[in-house]
Amino acid sequence: MTEQIPSATAPTVAEGEGHTSSPRLWARVPWTRVAIGVGFFVVAIALAYLRAGNGDVVRQAVLTGILIGGVYGLVAMGLTLIFGVLDIVNFAHGAFLAVALYITVTMVSRLGVNPLVALFVAVPVMFLLGAGVQRFVLAGAMGKPLENQLLITLGLALLIDNVLLMSFGPNPQSVKLPGDTGVQIFGAVATVSRLLAFGVAIVLAALLYVLLQRTRLGTAIRAVAANEAGAQLVGIDTRRIYMATFAIGTACAGAAGVLVAPLVTIEPTTGELFNIIAFVVVVLGGMGNVIGALVGGLIIGLTEQLGALYFPGQSPLLSVFVVFVLVLFLRPQGLFGKAS
Amino acid sequence: MLRLESVCAGYHGLQILHEVDLEVNEGEIVALVGANGAGKTTTLRAASGVISPTSGQITFQGEPAGGLRTAGLVARGLVHVPEERALFGPLTIEENLRMGAWTQRKTPMSGALAEVFELFPVLADRRRQTAETLSGGQQQMLCIGRALMARPKLLMLDEPSTGLSPKLTWTVLEAIGMIRDRGVAVLLVEQNAGQALRLADRAYVMESGSVVLGGTGAELADDDRVRAAYLGL
C-alpha cells in the first residue's frame, strides 16, 4: 500500500453502549468461582473422610472421580458445542457414543486390534455421521420451535438404540485393553485404561480448544454462535458451519465412546447413562460453554465417586442429581454461564 | 456498478418496494433519504441478497445479482453494513476484522488490516478487546472496518449514525468520505438527511416504497420539497 490513508478522529467519549448478548463458548476464567469450587471439594473430601473413616477409600474415590470426569468433560464438550452454536438440545448424543462403543467392540473382536486404535476409525466415522444427520435430518428444523429439534433428536436416539439392538443383540459385551494393570498414584490405584481414557480425553479437549480459538474454522464457529446474521453478512456459509459443528460435537461423543469402551459393560442402551450425565455437566458448566463443560465433567466425576461414599449402596447417580437440582435452584445459568 | 430496475420486494407477501429504480456508479457516494418506513432498508436488503426481489432486475458490475446468496455477493465486492451492526460480541476486535475477510482467503489480510487500523486507530489500540466492550461509536467503526476487510467495491451502509452523538456521527461520516476517496463506492441510508446530502455525490428520496426524487446531493439539499419534508427548513 503506497497511499497514506488519513485517520478518522478517535472518539474519546464512551456512549451508546450497545452490548450484544450471545452465547460464550469460552468464558474468561472466573477465579473467585474456581476458588469456591476448590473450597467446596476440600470440604466434600473432608466429610467423605469422616464418613468413610479411611483415607485410602477417599483417595481412591478422588482419583477415580477425576479420571472418569475428564471423559465426562469430553462427552459434554461435544454436547455443549452443539447447543452453543446450533441451539439444539441433542438427545441423540449418548446414542452416538454407543455407536462408537460398538465400532470399538467390532474392531477388537474382528480385527484383534488394541481398543484405542478404534479412535482412528470411530472419530472420522462419527464426524461423517454427525455431518450427515445435521444436513439431512436436522437442517430442516433449524430456526423452527425448539421442540421440533428436541423430538427429532429423541427419535433419532431411539432409532440408533434399536438399530444397535438389532445388529448386535441385547447381550452385554466388554472390551479388554491389553496390559490393563493397576498403577499406584498417591496411594490409590488407577488402571492403565482409566489413565489412558483421561489422558486422551484431556488431549482431545485441548485440541478442541486450539481448533476453536486458533483456527479460521474455529473463529467462524464462534462467530456464527455469536451472531448468525453477522456471519452471513461477511460471507460465511452458516449451513456449512452448522454441519461442521454438529460433526465435531458428534466426533467428541465418538472419541469418548472409544475411550470408555474398556471401562463399561457395553449394551445398546449404555449411551443413555452418558447422555444423562452429559446433560447434567452441560447445565452445571453453563449451556454453550465449552470450558465449563470440561470443568463440569471433572466436578460430576468427583461428585459421583465421593457421593458413593456418603450414600453407600445407592446409585452413584443419586449424588449427581442432588448436585443437578442444587445448581438449578441456586445458579440455573451454570457455573460459567451469565445470568439471562 | 449497482443498478436496480423496477425492483419490487417485501416480506411475507407484503410488498414494500414498488418498482424502485436506482443506480450507484464507481467511486461515488449515493445517499438514500426518506422517512421511517419509506423502504430504504428494504432496498439495501434486496440489493445485498438478504431478501429476494419479487420482480425487477438487480445487476452488480453488469451481472445479475437479484436473489443471489449474500456470500456470493460479498465475494464479488458488494458488502452490506446493517443498522443493527451484527458484530460478533464475544470475539475480539481483531477476530471480528479477520472474519470480515472470510471471502478473501487467497489474499493476505495484513494489508487490509493495516488500512482499517489507519482509518480507525482506536480499533488498533483495542484489538485484543472483545467487541461487546466497545462504545456505540467504536462498534460502528468496527462494523465499517469489518466490511472493509472484504475489499468491497461497493459498501452499503444502513443508518451508520444511529445512536451516536453529533460528534461521533461526524467522525463516522468523515470516515465514509475517506473510504470513497480510496475508490470504494458507498450507498448510504441515513435518517440525518442534511448531513447525508452534504456528503453525497448523488442522492435519492424514497417515499412509501418508491423513489420519488433523484439528483446531486446539492440539488436535493436546495429542493424546496426536500427542505420542507426532511431538512426541517
CATH code (residue A318)? 1.10.3470
Q: What is the mean pLDDT of residues A208-223?
A: 94
CB-based contact A22 B90, cutoff 8 Å: yes
What is the distance in angstroms between the Cα of A143 and the nearest Cα belonging to chain B? 16
CB-based contact A6 B178, cutoff 8 Å: yes
C-alpha closest to that of B20 among B61, B60, B55: B55
Residues 52-81 of A with CB under 8 A from B: none
Quick: pLDDT tens for A1-29. Answer: 333 334 444 333 333 333 444 445 555 56
- Decide if B85 contacts B139 (C-beta within 8 A): yes
Nine cell digits for residue B61? 458490475
Q: What is the structure's pLDDT at A28?
A: 58
Chain A residues in contact with B47 by the CB 8 A cut-off are none
Is residue B190 scored above 60 in pLDDT? yes
Cα(B169)–Cα(A270) distance, integer angstroms: 60
Chain B residues in contact with A232 by the CB 8 A cut-off are 50, 70-71
* Burial grade of B187 (CB within 10 A; 0-12, 13-18, 19 or more): buried
| Tally of domains in chain A | 1
Quick: pLDDT tens for A93-105. Answer: 999 999 999 999 9
Cα(A234)–Cα(B112) distance, integer angstroms: 15
Nine cell digits for residue A51? 464418613
- Decide if B231 contacts B216 (C-beta within 8 A): no
Kindly indicate the confidence band of residue B67, based on its pLDDT and cuts at 50, 70 and 90. Answer: low
Span of A279-288, A313-322, B98-107 with lowest mean pLDDT: A313-322
Q: Choose the closest CB to A226 out of B79, B88, B98.
A: B88
Let me know if residue A34 belongs to a domain: no
Nine cell digits for residue B105? 482467503
Let me know if residue A337 belongs to a domain: no
Chain A residues in contact with B45 by the CB 8 A cut-off are none
CA angle at residue B133 from B131 to B139, to 5 degrees?
A: 50
Amino acid at B222: D
Please indicate if any CB of chain A lies within 8 Å of the CB of B177.
Answer: no
Let me know if residue A319 belongs to a domain: yes
CB atoms within 10 A of CB B39: 25
Cα(B179)–Cα(B172) distance, integer angstroms: 11
A18 SS3 class: coil
Cα(A270)–Cα(A25) distance, integer angstroms: 28
Is residue B50 scored above 90 in pLDDT? no
Is residue B52 scored above 80 in pLDDT? yes
Let me know if residue A256 belongs to a domain: yes
Is residue A201 scored above 90 in pLDDT? yes
Chain B residues in contact with A21 by the CB 8 A cut-off are 89, 132
CB-based contact B82 A229, cutoff 8 Å: yes
Give every CB contact of residue B67 below 8 A, 6+ residues apart in sequence: B49, B52, B53
Q: What is the DSSP letter of A25?
A: S
Please indicate if any CB of chain B lies within 8 Å of the CB of A213.
Answer: no
Please indicate if any CB of chain A lies within 8 Å of the CB of B51.
Answer: no
CB-based contact A235 B89, cutoff 8 Å: no
Strand partners, B215: B203
Let me know if residue A5 belongs to a domain: no
Q: What is the structure's pLDDT at B162?
A: 84
Q: Which residue of B has its CA nearest to A7?
A: B119
Domains of chain B, CATH where assigned: 2-229 (3.40.50.300)
Kindly indicate the confidence band of residue A340, based on its pLDDT and cuts at 50, 70 and 90. Answer: low
Beta-strand pair B185-189/B29-34: parallel
CB-based contact B182 A6, cutoff 8 Å: no
Span of A164-173, A258-267, A304-313, A329-338 with lowest mean pLDDT: A329-338
Cα(B94)–Cα(B97) distance, integer angstroms: 5
Cα(B83)–Cα(A292) distance, integer angstroms: 33
**What order of strands is seen across the sheet that includes strand B210-216?**
B78-81, B154-158, B185-189, B29-34, B202-207, B210-216
Q: Choose the closest CB to B102 out of A14, A226, A234.
A: A234
CB-based contact A233 B135, cutoff 8 Å: no
Please indicate if any CB of chain A lies within 8 Å of the CB of B180.
Answer: no
Q: What is the mean pLDDT of residues A159-186?
A: 93
Span of A49-53, A72-76, A112-116, B46-50 with lowest mean pLDDT: A49-53
Let me know if residue A293 belongs to a domain: yes
What is the distance in angstroms between the Cα of B136 and the nearest Cα belonging to chain A? 4
Cα(A226)–Cα(A23) distance, integer angstroms: 6
Q: Which residue of A has its CA nearest to B117?
A: A7
Give every CB contact of residue B219 below 8 A, 6+ residues apart in sequence: none
What is the distance in angstroms between the Cα of A195 and the nearest Cα belonging to chain B? 35
Please indicate if any CB of chain A lies within 8 Å of the CB of B64.
Answer: no
CB-based contact A233 B70, cutoff 8 Å: yes
**Structural domain that includes position A245:** 61-330
Q: What is the structure's pLDDT at B105?
A: 83
Q: What is the mean pLDDT of residues A245-273?
A: 96
Beta-strand pair B154-158/B185-189: parallel
Please indicate if any CB of chain B lies within 8 Å of the CB of A5.
Answer: yes
- Per the listing, cell 459434554 goes with A76
* Burial grade of B104 (CB within 10 A; 0-12, 13-18, 19 or more): middle
Let me know if residue A148 belongs to a domain: yes
Let me know if residue A101 belongs to a domain: yes
- Report helix angle A55-86 to A270-285, nearest 10: 80
Alpha helices in B57-213 (DSSP H): 70-75, 93-100, 110-119, 121-125, 136-148, 166-181, 193-199
Amino acid at A89: V
